[in-house]
């Protein structure tokens, strides 16, 4: 295995970017991923946050699952509130 492949393979941020084909999807996904990491209080560059999340997820899988579910619930509640507000405004 080449050293370049090994470095790429061990870099979660690069794998995330590589997995997204569409430029418009990348454009939307990167800020969303960063918002998730801010929500779970990870610091550093986005690349560092990705690595920290993967490291923590490997050590504590239940923490990772719980973090994702809490973030999704928060976003679901936020969008439900927006939908309800829009209905009342009409």
pLDDT tens digit sequence for 19-63: 999 999 999 999 999 999 999 999 999 999 999 999 999 999 999
The whole-angstrom separation of Cα 16 and Cα 23 is 13
Tell me the pTM.
0.75
Q: Which pLDDT does position 88 carry in this prediction?
A: 58
Q: Which pLDDT does position 45 carry in this prediction?
A: 96
36 by Cβ neighbours in 10 Å (0-12 / 13-18 / 19+) ranks as: middle
pLDDT greater at residue 42 or residue 9: 42
Across the chain, what does the average pLDDT equal?
85
17 phi/psi in degrees, rounded to 5:
-65, -40
The whole-angstrom separation of Cα 30 and Cα 45 is 12
């Amino acid at each position: 295995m080449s050293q370049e492949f090994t470095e790429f393979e061990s870099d979660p941020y690069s794998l995330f970017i590589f997995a997204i084909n569409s430029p418009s999807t990348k454009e939307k996904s990167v800020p969303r991923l960063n918002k998730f990491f801010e929500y779970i209080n990870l610091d550093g560059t986005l690349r560092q946050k990705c690595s920290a999340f993967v490291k923590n997820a490997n050590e504590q899988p239940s923490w990772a699952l719980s973090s994702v579910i809490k973030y999704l619930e928060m976003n679901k509640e936020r969008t439900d509130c927006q939908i309800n507000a829009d209905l009342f405004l009409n």
